[in-house]
Structure 1
Amino acid sequence: MAKTLARNITSSFFAKSRSEGVGAIVRRCIGGSKTLDPFLMCDIFEVTPPAGFPDHPHRGFETVTYLLEGAIAHEDFGGNKGLIGPGDVQWMTAGRGVVHAEMPASKVTSRGIQLWINLSREYKMIEPAYQDLKDSDIPRAKPEPGIEVKIIAGESFGVKSSVFTRTPTMIMDFKLEKGKKIEQQIPKDHQGFIYVLNGSGYFGENQFKGEEHNALFLDDNNGDHIPVEAKDVDLRFMLFTGKPLKEPMVNYGPFVMNSEEEILQTMFDFNQTTNGFERAKKWRSSIADGVTELQ
């Protein structure tokens, strides 16, 4: 049997804390000038009331919010409301337009991850949609004692997520006890990165050491797996991979389209509350002024 090719880690950086939204603290590992097709942004966030993300718009991509601690309330201009707690996921397809608010719903600090995934041209102007997942409904793989993989999107060790990914994507939360090692399969045509949540480990065939708050970037050598080992301490990390769209991309804040003309049209649509933003004209969220203890 031919030996399969493993992925390596090509680079890393320490994600520093910065302010975002209204009083929130984030560690940004993807975003701004550093994007990784199809990923636009990835923030590890912390919010404590009255901080949060009050009413704001989106168009042209998806947001995935994975909560680690606390509680986050969500409300949009279409009447959709929800609450996610520890381990829950909200997968929002903004499509042609959403205006919404995301605010902490607990007096303690809420901590989580928000990932922005680009949509291809054919999906940018679809109607908004949601996929909400409770922690208990997200499948796990436990290939051996001391190893657990929570599969938000994609497949690991024969266990598949039920999430529909318009842009082919894998998102997983790995926990390895000290001394454990695994090989995670990755589609050959995916790009990706890793974020170390806790501890440290050795990643890729080149045994690149990644520590807490490090973002690690995979090479694109068409390898079909990545080896990971927790040699020294327990390790928890997130794996994000996706199939590149290879389309022109122009972003302006919360709007991501394929051309400058489409961005200008989006700004016009939002300002004039038309072509997907009609419901924004008189809408104001009930949570933007602060929510506590909704759980």
Structure 2
Amino acid sequence: MALSVDRIEAAGPRQMVGPRHQNRLVIAPREHAPYCPFLFLAEDWFAPPAGFPTHPHRGMETVTFVLEGQMIHEDHTGAHGELEAGDIQFMTAGGGVLHSEMPGPQGVHSLQLWLNLPAAKKMSPARYSDQRAADAALVSGEGFEVRLYAGRFGAAERAHGSLWPLALMDLRLEAGARLELPLANGWRGFLLVLEGEAEVGAGGAVVKADQHAWAHAQDADDVLPLTARAPLRALFYAAPVIDEPVVAHGPFVMNTVDEIRQAFSDYQTGRLTQAR
């Protein structure tokens, strides 16, 4: 039995946050439980001299999707990489990371998802996994094309680069094309429409550009039907729910206030990235 959409929400307004830097919060929960394990999703347009110089994280993961341009990243271990349009970076902050994310010479348009980690994994070693667009699995059918970065679609399957399981796919559909998105039992997913318009879920809820539709498979593995009402590009994210308290402050996401205080103390005293 196909899933129905739980709710449809709209991205926040686009705003100037600094010279050559615009940003909007696509997903900005006031409470975390209905969105778990997704913490928030930010969209940025930035070019030199704007960017995100070296900054810390602990207790979560980021999933960065480059829509246009180039992003250059470095971290405290000396790791360095460049992401081009269609590339994705999975970054596990775990117990602590210091990294920077800067635009290439012509700038970058990116989406960055913050993905929670359960308490048992929050202090894991930091790590990166870059996935190139050319390495994603490409699945096509009648009027649709799916670029699979992580998870499963049809007979195709890709390992997730995140520590916490994640499905991620880039969808392109012609008007009238239809497909079914898999959602495993206990997983929550959302469809973000970048361009076009679609009917989503068993009830055919209409989702337009800059909106996202949510669904949760609570009893068994299921599917979320999708039909394009106009030429469509959308991203689909899904992951298992983490039913734990969330305390987020600045760049740190933990389970208790005391753990947040410890994270700030470790950062201020230079111990954030020390092995544990």
**When the two structures are superposed, what TM-score results if normalisation uses the length of structure 2?**
0.92
Which residues in structure 2 correspond to 1:113-262 (within 5 Å)?
Answer: 113-142=111-140, 144-219=141-216, 222=219, 224-231=222-229, 233-262=230-259
Q: In structure 1, what is the Cα distance between the partners aligned to 2:161 and 2:74?
A: 22
| Matches of 1:206 and 1:219, distance apart in 2 | 15
Q: Secondary structure at the match of 1:71?
A: strand
In proportion to residue count, which structure has more strand?
Answer: 2
Whether the aligned pair in 1 keeps the contact of 2:98 and 2:273 (CA below 8 Å) is: no
CA RMSD of aligned residues (A): 1.9
1:42 maps to which residue?
Answer: 41
Residue type of the partner of 2:56? Answer: P
1:199-224 per-position Cα deviation (integer Å, ceiling 9, x unaligned):
11111111111111112222555461
Residues 8-47 of structure 1 aligned to structure 2 (within 5 Å): 8-20=5-17, 24-35=21-32, 36-47=35-46
* Count of paired positions: 272
Task: Report the 3-state secondary structure (helix = DSSP H, G, I; strand = E; otherwise coil) of the residue aligned with 2:202.
Answer: coil
Match for 1:226: what amino acid?
L
Contact 2:92 2:162 in 1 (8 A): no
Residue 66 of structure 2: aligned partner = 67
Alignment partners' CA distance in 2, 1:244 and 1:237? 22
Report the alpha carbon displacement of residue 191 of structure 1 after superposing the two structures with TM.
1.3
Distance 2:239 2:17 in 1: 25
- Which residue is equivalent to 1:292? none
Counterpart CA distance in 1 for 2:190 and 2:18 is 24
Conserved 8 A contact 1:5-1:222: no
- Asked if 1 retains the 8 angstrom alpha-carbon contact of 2:2 and 2:201, the reply is no
Amino acid at match of 2:80: K
> Offset of 1:128 from its aligned partner?
0.7
When residues 70 and 112 of structure 1 are mapped into structure 2, their CA distance, relative to the original with a 3 A threshold, is same
* CA distance in structure 2 between the partners assigned to 1:56 and 1:141 by the alignment: 37
Contact 1:9 1:204 in 2 (8 A): no
2:13 and 2:202 map into 1 onto residues whose CA distance is: 27
**Could you say which residue in structure 1 is the equivalent of 2:110?**
112
The one-letter amino acid paired with 2:95 is R
* Structure 1 equivalent of residue 87 of structure 2: 88
CA contact (8 A) 1:171 1:240 kept: yes
Structure 2 letter corresponding to 1:42: L
Amino acid at match of 2:93: A
User: SS in structure 1 opposite 2:120?
Assistant: coil
- For residue 78 of structure 1, what is the amino acid of its counterpart? T
How far does the alpha carbon of each residue in 1:205-255 deviate from its partner, in whole angstroms, 9 at most, with x for none?
Answer: 111111111122225554611111112x20011111111111111111100
1:98/1:277 contact within 8 Å kept? no
Q: Percent identity?
A: 32
Judged with a 3 Å threshold, the aligned counterparts in structure 2 of structure 1 residues 260 and 21 are, in CA distance, closer, same or farther, namely farther
CA distance in 2, matches of 1:183, 1:167: 23
Question: Residue 98 of structure 1 aligns with which residue?
Answer: 97
TM-score, normalised to structure 1's length?
Answer: 0.86
Of 39-48 and 157-166, the range deviating more from structure 2? 157-166
CA–CA separation in structure 1 for the residues paired with 2:112 and 2:135: 19
TM-aligned CA distance change 1:194 to 1:81, over 3 Å: same
Once the two structures are superposed, what CA deviation does each residue of 1:83-130 show, in whole Å capped at 9, x if it has no partner? 0001111111111111111111132x4112111111111211111111
CA contact (8 A) 2:63 2:89 kept: yes
Unaligned runs of 5+ in 1: 279-295
Higher RCO structure (Cα 8 Å, ≥6 apart): 1
Indicate how the Cα distance of structure 1 residues 200 and 34 shifts in structure 2: closer, same or farther if over 3 A, else same. Answer: farther
